[in-house]
């Protein structure tokens, strides 16, 4: 019995402790990277919405009207598949919820809010017809005149 080969219990415990320490360091960095990726995706999606709104206004809105998410997804000109993808048209993509409001003619506001604040993203985003994307620490709202406010928002472009 003295010639048995293998690891002792102490050696196995040391390896498990080392793996736990590495995981404790790596997991928060992984979550922060995921939040940053979700925020970058939200900004990109707002750029897509802004471009789709400009196209919609020029092709189907009579150079006056903008469309909501459903209208942008249903628009078949110039792309027969719609101006935005189905995930964005559903209002949720990459940990963010999207909404487009059209409070008056020649005005639209698109907002992006994290589905689980602090987990899927830390910042809120919005864009309106001038095309400047704003970021804030709290929800950004849209007035009837298409002005963005709230959330201590600052332009990111």
pLDDT digits (tens, 9 = 90+) for 99-124: 999 988 889 999 999 999 999 999 99
| Backbone dihedral region for residue 152 (phi beyond 0: left; psi -120 to 50: alpha; all else: beta) | left
Q: Mean per-residue pLDDT for 139-149?
A: 83
Give the tokens for residue 2. Answer: 């003295």
Confidence label for 33 from pLDDT (cuts 50, 70 and 90): very high
pLDDT digits (tens, 9 = 90+) for 51-94: 999 999 999 888 889 999 999 999 887 778 889 999 999 999 99
Q: What is the pLDDT of residue 77?
A: 77
CB neighbourhood size of 146 (10 A): 18
């Amino acid at each position: 019995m003295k010639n048995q080969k293998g690891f002792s219990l102490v050696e196995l415990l040391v390896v498990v402790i080392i793996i736990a320490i590495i995981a404790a360091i790596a997991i928060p960095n992984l979550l922060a990277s995921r939040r940053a990726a979700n925020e970058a995706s939200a900004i990109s999606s707002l750029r897509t919405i802004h471009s789709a709104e400009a196209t919609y206004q020029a092709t189907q809105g009579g150079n006056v009207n903008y469309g909501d998410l459903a209208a942008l997804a249903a628009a078949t000109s110039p792309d027969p598949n719609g101006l935005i993808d189905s995930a964005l048209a559903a209002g949720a993509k990459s940990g963010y919820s999207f909404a487009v409001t059209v409070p008056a003619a020649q005005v639209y506001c698109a907002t992006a809010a994290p589905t689980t604040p602090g987990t899927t993203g830390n910042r809120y985003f919005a864009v309106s017809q001038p095309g400047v994307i704003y970021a804030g620490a709290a929800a950004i709202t849209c007035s009837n005149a298409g002005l963005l406010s709230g959330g201590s928002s600052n332009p990111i472009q």
